[in-house]
A = this chain, B = another copy of it.
Amino acid sequence: MATTTLHQTIKPIEVGILGGTGMVGQHFIRFLDGHPWFRLTWLGASDRSAGKKLRDAVPWRLDGEMPASAARITVSESRPAGAPRLVFSAMDASVATAIERSFAEAGHIVVSNSRNHRMEPDVPLIVPEINPGHLSLIHSQRETRGWSGMIVTNPNCSTVVLAMALAPLMQFGIVRVIAATLQAVSGAGYPGVASMDILANVVPFISGEEEKMQQETQKILGAVLNGEASPLPARVSAHCHRVAVADGHTVSASVELSSKPSHEEVRRALAAYQGVPQQRNLPSAPPQPVVCMSEPDRPQPRRDASRGNGMSVFVGRLRECPVLDWKFVACGHNTIRGAAGAAVLNAELMLSEGFLD
């Protein structure tokens, strides 16, 4: 496939968003606004909003204004009939399982940010720089389930930040990882975290988050064996905290590496990291997926997470760990790299692989 000419030759593909009126849906709407390959034409939501123009259905909760082209879309019910073939899912976990399956069954390509199917062994959990090859799980998924469509997922917002910082270290053999997160409130949706809980405070608990970080990281960094995801046997432990930050998750990690690389080897591996999205110049791919910072007190969520298009992960403070081998701080944008942007980059990868033909 002539990937270098992708940008010129593609004519816009119509896409939809399941859960298009929610907070995550709004992040998708904003991220897709002006996208060179995808044109948003369909929004699925609950019966309550169906039939209304988006601008009349919900208030816009993000900065700036609701994109005009989306504002005019009449919200549909969350049923496959009439929806475009490619739909992003921004649905709440409480309803996503059945609806996503009904779309896949009806032939739709569901690129989902919801957690419901992530850990199923025949569902790809993709970070395009790290494990594009896991898309091959789609074949067994379709076969087993008898679907003409498919479900592809991206990880939880804090997992992406950790996984992107660990991926370049895979060459050294990851044995054990302990990570502590300081997570932004935008990750909890709207209304999400009550201000009384977080003002001048820390909440050292996010329901289900530690388990997701631990299991999803192992799956992303793992292999595909016999048509099933085979998790990396490294042990991962997460401590998750909510802090008074609007956007951007910070993850501090200690990691044990079997080949005992030097500081310079680790630093170079992080800085040189490139993947398929960069090689194919996918529209949402950051030029540098991992940006190494040398300032002593960076990265920081308010100053760094949004840089560029919000799709890079910033890593700094690489230093020796007295317990494991190396420790560092990573930071990324939770609603872009950790949600809407992640799913859109997945769809771009799938298009570049021919899955959308």
Contact = CB atoms under 8 A, between A and B. Distances in A.
Contacts of A190: 194, 196
Nearest to A183: B202
Contacts of A82: none
Given A195-B199, A204-B316, A243 B243 contact: yes
A237 B322 contact: yes
Given A237-B324, A323-B176, A323-B236, A192 B196 contact: yes
A213 to B, nearest CB: 11
Sort chain A's interface into a size bin.
35 or more
A153 interface: no
A310 to B, nearest CB: 12
Contacts of A239: 180, 252, 254, 327, 329
A193 B194 contact: yes
Given A254-B237, A321-B237, A194 B192 contact: yes
Interface string A181-221: 01001100011111111111111110100000010000000
A151 to B, nearest CB: 28
A303 interface: yes
A317 B204 contact: yes
18 contacts: A62-B303, A63-B302, A178-B323, A185-B196, A190-B196, A191-B194, A197-B300, A200-B200, A200-B246, A201-B245, A201-B302, A204-B297, A204-B300, A204-B317, A236-B322, A237-B254, A237-B327, A241-B252
A205 B243 contact: no
A290 interface: no
Contact of A201 (B201, B236, B301): B301
A243 B202 contact: yes
Given A207-B296, A236-B323, 14 more contacts: A63-B302, A63-B303, A176-B323, A178-B321, A182-B243, A190-B196, A192-B194, A193-B194, A195-B199, A196-B246, A199-B246, A200-B200, A200-B246, A202-B250
